[in-house]
Amino acid sequence: MGAGRIGGALHQRDPDQFALVDRHHGWELLEAEPGSPILLAVRNDDLLAVLERVPARRRADLVIAQNGMLRPWLREHGLTQVTRGLLFMAVPTRGAAIEPGGESPFFGPHAEAMVRAFTRVGLPAAVVSAQDFAGIELEKLIWNCAFGLCCEAFNCDVGTVVLDHAQQLRALVAELLAVGGPALDVELEPLVDRLCAYSRSIPSYQGAVKEWPWRNGWFVLTARERGVATPTHDRLLAAVGRS
């Protein structure tokens, strides 16, 4: 579901494997009997509007694959048992072909079906445990939040963050891990080295603070709730006008 960059690219890659549901077309597909996965490829802020249009009997078939911290939203809407995924691929612009990345992890009721669908069209994917998924989820979230914030605060790309702002990056990653690790009950080591290695593979990418409630905003709220000090995060957020 979703005709944006990701949904459109998957449909373009194999229309039979990835039938498309957009705002106006394809909703009759959801009238089928439960049991087939429904991949949501929409922006985080559009999740609720889409969920409200999904028949209640099909909600167990949803596959949630957005970036960001989705767990509070899933709990709020009774979706903690649905299939989760993270997409390691790039679609630079709407209509562009998919650029495969690493393995996209899935866990939950439809994990095996999603892996079969992805591998059939040449996209690496793997079934993982809930615990392994939590680690991957947190690592990707910290990369997005740490490098996005540093890129915006220092007005540079991720390669420059690694080269010229390593000390502040390490402090920031340590703070985010101190918040997210206990919240998700995972340990990630050596995290900074892995995040920097990935950034070196895409050195010209320039991130920014995005999707506040799903990313950096979640760290702010969770740190406050748990009484964890995050001075580097707070200072860099203030520098870009966020707090």
pLDDT tens for residues 175-231? 999 999 999 999 988 899 999 998 998 898 899 999 999 999 999 999 999 999 999
Residues 53 and 96 in one domain: yes
pLDDT at 108: 98
pLDDT at 145: 98
Residues 10 and 124 in one domain: yes
The pLDDT of residue 235 is above 80 = yes
pLDDT at 107: 97
The CB density around residue 160, as the number of other CB atoms within 10 Å, is: 17
- Would you say 131 and 105 are in contact if contact means Cβ atoms under 8 Å apart? no
Over range 165-176, report the average pLDDT.
98
pLDDT at 223: 98
Residues 15 and 121 in one domain: yes
Greater confidence, 6 or 194? 194
Tell me, yes or no, if the pTM score tops 0.85. yes
Residues 155 and 104 in one domain: no
Tell me what the pLDDT averaged over the chain comes to.
93
Give residue-wise pLDDT tens across range 65-115: 999 999 999 999 999 999 999 998 877 778 788 887 789 999 999 999 999
- Which pair of tokens denotes residue 21? 């549901």
Look up the CATH number of the domain holding residue 166. 1.10.1040.10
Nearest CA-CA partner of 215 in 48, 50, 49, 73: 73
Give residue-wise pLDDT tens across range 23-41: 888 888 888 889 999 999 8
- Look up the domain containing 160 and give its range: 131-239
Write down which residue in 128, 146, 162 finishes a domain: 128
The pLDDT of residue 2 is above 80 = no
- Would you say 219 and 212 are in contact if contact means Cβ atoms under 8 Å apart? no
The pLDDT of residue 133 is above 90 = yes
Q: Tell me which amino acid residue 143 is.
A: W
DSSP-assigned states of every residue in 38-107: EEE-S-GGGHHHHHTTS-GGGGGGEEE--SS--HHHHHHTT-TTSEEE---EE--STTPPPEE-SPEEEE
Write down which residue in 65, 99, 128 finishes a domain: 128
Number of folded domains in the chain?
Answer: 2
The CB density around residue 152, as the number of other CB atoms within 10 Å, is: 20
Residues 10 and 107 in one domain: yes
- Which pair of tokens denotes residue 102? 């690493």
3-state helix, strand, coil in the chain (%, to 5): 55, 10, 40
- Would you say 240 and 152 are in contact if contact means Cβ atoms under 8 Å apart? yes
Q: Cα(166)–Cα(94) distance, rounded to whole angstroms?
A: 34
